[in-house]
Structure 1
Amino acid sequence: MMNQEQWQAVANYVGGLGHTLDLSFKPKKLSGGAANFNYVVKLNGKKAVLRRPPDGPLPPGANDVAREYRVLSSLKEHYPPAPIGLVFCDDESVIGVPFCISEFREGICIGRDLPESLVNRPQIGDTLSQLLVESLVKLHKVDLQATGLSSLGSVDGFLERQISGWYKRGSRVLNEQQLEKLGTIRDWLQDNLPEKRLGALVHNDFKLDNMLLDEESLTVNGVVDWDMCTVGDPIYELTILLAYWGEPNDKPAYEFQCRMPKEAEGWWPRSKVIEEYFRLSGFDKQALDFYWWLTQYRNIVVYAQLNALFTRTGEFPAALTQEECELMPGRVDQLLETVTAALGSPDFRYLSR
């Protein structure tokens, strides 16, 4: 949690930029977010959101609020659900870490369970599934040149960088035995890279709890958490969403990754998500199993990083419970075992079955 001295330092900093932070308004820590911390503040008489990483050393490429500010400052006319970026501070002498402030968007945030107000709405799962897929396709169809974000990343070598980058991050948080198994997955991925590559603006953590919805109309008021946004492969982003998606008969290693209300009436199976995504996007369906295993490879390291943060600080992100964080070491081992076993068997055809 931020203390009063830090809030005063923020007020002084934004004041030097011509803004006013109302310190009589008590900042409220928002739920959601599995890495950065988010606070509702009042800037220039309106609600806004201050977003900052946790204290201490950060994993390379993670918690990048500078990237987030650049994205949010560029998407206003091209992807309206993205809140507008208002302030960025890279001077760590202010509160010890960089931070950004963006526009506040009203709306409900839906995670693993539906809010009571939506439980009895007919076919709510169908409505939310369609909303998610349509919103993701609209993002992947954004004109990169028009946004000025084409230099945010490069499609050339994107998948190779994902493979090497997640292994490097894993080497910082996994033990020797775990890293050996991660290396087995890495080698399979390197040997099975798809020949054809696509390029688009990707959010890199696109899921329901990063969307703000109008509770009555169920329209999208906002999409948040843009610190990992880049130019990359949209099919990879689709399979990241599918990992969070959840299905009734998922194996335990996949079931714990579910961040969606999969029991909601009408909730789509992954097969329908895939069908609708490719129908709406017009992209060629290819190498889905490769992207699924790349996603699981990524998630092994993500969960190991979250465990390292919890072990080091005792804090846990608002999107997770303390119990989930305490179980994380076993979950990492379980996922490593499941993926390495699948790659050596017919189960490797996971999404193309």
Structure 2
Amino acid sequence: MTVAKQAESGATPGFDTQAVAAWLARQATELEPPLAWTRLPGGHSNLSYMIEDGNGRKAVIRRPPLGELLPKAHDMGREWKLITALGPTPVPVPRALAFCDDKAVTGAHFYVMSHVDGRPLYTAEDTERLVPEDQRVKLAHSFIDVLADLHALDPDALGLGDLGKRDSYVGRQLKTWYQSWTASIAPAKYDDPRAHTLQKFFLDNLPDQGPARVVHGDYGLHNCLTGPEHTIAAVVDWEISTLGDPLADLAYALNTWPDPERGFPVIPDSATAVTGFPLRRDLAARYAERTGRDLSLLDYYAGFNRWKTAAIVHGVYARYMEGKKSAEGVDLDLLRSRVDQNLAWAAEAIERLLARG
């Protein structure tokens, strides 16, 4: 993993480091200037840095990306609210240290959280390097247990009852991403009848949601910090978290976990594409046992998530084709094939669902 490291200066993209250091000194975070800044990868393009003082004390600071943003995009206050509320719960999150709502400090809202000893897993190489084979079952169980713990929480009891709308989490996304698909057809010069037939099937067969729970929205090993004990030390990147259907969140979390006999292939180079992990069915069964939830419609949610991914990638492909994003160095054929592959996986999930009656 490559990171950029530099001493405190005014040249760190996104931060006036001198102003931030002065602000931190007033917040009693125990960090003492001068600070060293290390750019961290990932995070939905938000700018994240590890900051370390001369005594070896570390924290992580996070702000939105540079440039013009949509009004509700990259909401640092939302992430801050979530990690603050989840701090006392069984769900491991970094400790909330300080939040700045004064854009005069460095041009944007930002927050500071504790540094957690752990690493995200993006690729099979990451897993091979950081998680011994005999520890992978332990990690997988920790991964699914943390999600079960999240979905057991009452959002009202946490002060998160206003995090989002409670009704029809899947139904609302089906409408939103279908609008994205149809709007992208012309610029992409690409349509696929499966996108339309699948969306109609999902709407016509929409399950009852049940009580809304906090859903992460992008839960995976890439947004978890795997600690030295090979368990989930912290869950990060809560910016798209909302209230919704926990089974949709579960199906998304299981996307990359293989089970070839059940129609879930190994996804090359994914963090779970290595030996030693339990099968997808085993993790689903563990979640069901811990939560008591009925997973008979899990293939519905698996298909929905694949269809949604296809719509998202289709929109990205359209922006490249329209010239709104530079396609230099981008494999557009590969991008288009991802749309096709996800629609195929969505259709297969529905075929499995219908075959079981």
- Cα deviation for residue 170 of structure 1 reads 5.4
Q: Could you tell me whether the CA contact under 8 Å between 1:253 and 1:331 is conserved in 2?
A: no
Q: TM-score, normalised by structure 1?
A: 0.78
Choose from 308, 313, 322 the match for 1:298.
308
Distance 1:33 1:224 in 2: 8
Equivalent residue, structure 2, for 1:157:
168
Distance in 2 between the 1:346 and 1:228 partners? 27
Question: Could you say if the C-alpha distance between residues 292 and 49 of structure 1 is closer, same or farther in structure 2, counting changes exceeding 3 Å?
Answer: same
How far is 1:140 from its partner?
0.8
Residue 132 (1) aligns with residue 143 (2): yes
Q: CA deviation at 1:273?
A: 1.9
Q: Which residue of 2 aligns with 1:289?
A: 299
In structure 2, the CA distance between the partners of 1:117 and 1:339, relative to structure 1 (3 Å rule), is closer
Secondary structure at 1:102 match in 2 = strand
Task: Say whether 1:195 aligns with 2:197.
Answer: no
The one of 236, 246, 255 aligned to 2:267: 255
Q: Distance in 1 between matches of 2:311 and 2:153?
A: 29
1:142 to 122, 133, 153: 153
Identify the match of residue 86 of structure 1 among 88, 97, 100: 97
CA distance in 2, matches of 1:27, 1:270: 39
- 1:1-353 matches, cutoff 5 A: 3-4=11-12, 6-14=16-24, 22=32, 24-42=34-52, 46-58=57-69, 62-113=73-124, 114-119=127-132, 121-122=133-134, 124-168=135-179, 175-178=187-190, 182-215=195-228, 217-247=229-259, 255=267, 259-265=270-276, 267-303=277-313, 326-327=330-331, 329-340=332-343, 348-350=350-352
- Report how far residue 26 of structure 1 moved: 2.0
Cα 1:304–1:89, aligned 2, differ >3 Å: closer, same or farther? Answer: farther
Larger mean CA deviation between 223-232 and 45-54 belongs to: 45-54
Find the residue that maps to 1:81 and give its secondary structure. coil
Specify whether residues 72 and 173 from structure 1 end up closer, same or farther in structure 2 by C-alpha distance, changes over 3 A only. farther
Secondary structure at 2:60 match in 1: strand
Paired with 1:272 and 1:190, the residues of 2 have a C-alpha distance of: 29
For 2:250 and 2:281, locate their aligned partners in 1 and report how far apart those are by CA, in whole Å.
Answer: 12
Letter matched to residue 232 of structure 1: G
Structure 1 residue 79, shift from structure 2 partner: 3.3
- Residue deviations 1:186-241, cap 9 Å, x none? 333222211353421111111112222332x2233211111112111110011111
What code does the residue aligned with 1:77 have?
P
Q: Please tell me whether the aligned partners of residues 247 and 262 of structure 1 are also in contact (alpha carbons under 8 angstroms).
A: no
Q: Aligned partners of 1:282 and 1:111: how far apart in 2?
A: 30
Structure 2 counterpart of 1:212, one-letter code: L
The amino acid across from 1:67 in the alignment is: R
**TM-score calculated relative to the size of structure 2:** 0.78
**50-59 or 63-72, larger mean C-alpha shift:** 50-59
The runs of 5 or more residues in structure 1 that have no matched partner are 316-321
Partner SS for 1:73: helix
Q: In the superposition, relative to structure 1, how do residues 147 and 254 fare at CA in structure 2: closer, same or farther (>3 Å)?
A: same
| CA distance 1:349–1:58, change in 2 (3 Å) | farther
Unaligned ranges ≥5, structure 2:
5-9
**Paired residue secondary structure (1:29):** strand
**Worse-matched range after superposition: 60-69 or 202-211:** 60-69
| 1:111 partner amino acid | Y
Amino acid at match of 2:256: Y
User: How many percent of aligned residue pairs carry the same amino acid?
Assistant: 25
Distance 1:272 1:244 in 2: 14
